[in-house]
Chain A
């Protein structure tokens, strides 16, 4: 079975600084990759996904993630964060025909 590791449980960062939230997965077969976000006191929602094609995918609010097959990673990045990006971010992996598996989550804390 595949597993997903988010190495950082918390990432504090100052506003307008760049950020990278790390995600690594283990699978010997092709997978689909996702990032979900949970803003304070809200439900989870899909942020972005990689299914195929270009290895760099973007969200509408400036986040991007790059699929790196050789490193089995799907790190989430943003060049300049806002206070409003404070949230819990979950990486997830799906192997065809299986269920979605989530990582443990990373709490992004943006400070003024």
Chain B
């Protein structure tokens, strides 16, 4: 498909386990964002990648969270030693640069449940 693809769509894990979430952005999109959305809450910014620039990691809530992006393609968000408060929907979005930079295309999200 031509949209932003995220996997897995649902993940149930036990407290203390590591999880890896994947995002395939739209081809040609230089910018990629990760957000967290808890049930009934707004968007919590996690990390921003733009081309080959150093990522903005200012939103990562703790050192258990990390993210990587290979060039201008796939990104993975890793959560180590998961806690129950990590339960949320993790959203990925991508965009072009320049005047189109504010037009984000969102994936369907990865719903994480930590038991």
Q: Which residues of A contact B (CB under 8 A)?
A: 32, 34, 36, 43-46, 49, 51, 88, 90, 92, 94, 99-105
Tell whether B107 is near chain A: CB-to-CB under 8 Å. Answer: yes
Interface of A (DSSP majority class): strand
A32 to B99 alpha-carbon distance, docked (Å): 8
Q: Which residues of B contact A (CB under 8 A)?
A: 31, 33, 42-43, 45, 48, 50, 56, 91, 93, 95, 99, 101-104, 106-109
Quick check: B42 and A99 within 8 Å, CB to CB? no
A101 to B44 alpha-carbon distance, docked (Å): 10
Given A43-B108, A99-B33, A99-B48, A49 and B42 touching (CB < 8 A)?
Answer: no
A31 to B31 alpha-carbon distance, docked (Å): 18
Quick check: B101 and A105 within 8 Å, CB to CB? no
Which residues of the partner chain A approach B109 to less than 8 Å between Cβ atoms? 43
